[in-house]
Amino acid sequence: MRLADFILRDMERILGEWDTFAATLLPAARSMNSAGLRDHARQILQAVAIDLTKPQTGEAQREKSMGRAPTPDGASETAAQTHALLRARGGFNINQVVAEYRAVRASVLRLWLAECQPLVTDVQDMIRFNEAIDQAVAESVRFFDMQVEQARNLLLGMLGHDMRSPLQTIQMTATHLAELNAGVQISEAAGRLIRSGTRMNALLDDLCDFSRTKLGLGINIAPTGVDLAQVFGNEVDQLRAAHPDRRIDLEINGNLQGIWDGPRLQQLLSNLVLNALRYGDQDTPVHVVVNGHDADVHLEVRNSGSVIDRETLERIFDPLVRGPAQEKNVRGLGLGLYIASMIARAHHGAIDGQSDQSGTTFAVHLPRDYDR
């Protein structure tokens, strides 16, 4: 008996073995009944059986070996993809999902070989069966990863949002204490709370922005008429106050009036300057230079310090990327430059970095006119 016919004929026996194995995948399977344990197993095996009976070209075989078989006509998802989504939502891990396929592969072949004693000419069925299972594994793993990633980002976004209320209470209380003039010790303690709260708020901003970008929502901007000379000047003043032991120079040239999201560009500048303060030479100033041209505005943040190697520089705007020098002084989430690049992109601008013995420069190009 050909393998496809055996799968369809002995479907219940195969599903019984699927049940038995799936029930061992604890703790997720502990509260599941047979229907839950078998989730989409019948449809997956039916799809495999149908695949075994279809003619297959060499090109189709190569595509399947890389997990790129086409989705059936009229189906938004394959059974394997839906199975992966439900397993991810049910608390299974990716190793357990792959183990299910490994077990069903072994069960089907063991039962078929024992009962049907296939001929040598039927070996091609085994090859085709393994290809079909591998395709189902690829589809499940890809969708499982997407579901887990989306759930993680939603959790991060909700966490960042829900932490803001208690943080605001802490900051307001600390500000009230600082204004009471209740003694040097209380004023100093309140000052530390305020600075820590400001830092936590910046981390939450980065976390929420990161979650938005990973969910495909991008950085939210609200462009209005602004003067970047005032926007950047105010931000540099705040950074100087927060870092009185460091020197931050600001040079402004040309017309800096235009349509941008001022608070977002303040955030961009803050992230670049904080990065320079954190990882640059502590004894040399950070230079901020802003030049307004007819078609665009050009912002540069320069600092002296260790040279960033080319490989790291190529990935420096990726989230959670740090170079060897940065790893020695890890603070924050490693999202500052990533968020800065997303803000520039949201303004249809660009950002890049250069580093050599003379120092490190991050340059931002902001067009004056862009489609909003």
Please state, for a pLDDT cut of 90, what percent of the chain lies above it: 29
* 298 secondary structure, DSSP code: E
Do 251 and 229 touch, CB atoms closer than 8 A? no
334 pLDDT above the threshold of 50: yes
Strand partners, 259: 225
Spatial CB neighbours of 73, under 8 Å, sequence gap ≥ 6: none
CA distance 268 to 231: 11
3-state secondary structure of 197: helix
CA distance 27 to 29: 6
300 burial class (0-12, 13-18, 19+ CB within 10 angstroms)?
Answer: middle
Tell me what the pLDDT averaged over the chain comes to.
82
How many CA atoms, within 13 angstroms, populate the side-chain half-sphere of residue 316? 24
0.85 exceeded by pTM: no
69 pLDDT above the threshold of 80: no
Q: Across 182-186, 245-249, 366-370, which has the greatest mean pLDDT?
A: 245-249
The tokens describing 196, both together, are: 């820590």
**CATH number given to 224-367:** 3.30.565.10
- 159-191 residue pLDDT tens: 665 566 667 677 777 777 777 777 777 777 777
Do 254 and 285 touch, CB atoms closer than 8 A? no
- Angle at 210 (CA atoms; ends 313, 148), nearest 5 degrees: 110
200 pLDDT above the threshold of 90: no
Helices (H) and strands (E) in the chain, counts: 14, 7
Tokens 């591998």, located at residue: 134
CA distance 341 to 59: 41
CATH of 3-152, one of 1.10.490.70, 3.90.50.10, 1.20.120.450, 2.60.40.650: 1.10.490.70
- 227-240 residue pLDDT tens: 999 999 999 998 88
Give pLDDT, residue 254: 94
Question: Which whole number is the average pLDDT over 312-319?
Answer: 84
Q: Which has the higher per-residue pLDDT, 153 or 308?
A: 308
Amino acid letter for position 323: G
Strands (E) across 246-358 are located at 248-253, 257-260, 286-292, 296-303, 350-356
Amino acid letter for position 26: L
Spatial CA neighbour of 7 closest among 65, 53, 73: 53
Amino acid letter for position 276: A
349 burial class (0-12, 13-18, 19+ CB within 10 angstroms)?
Answer: buried
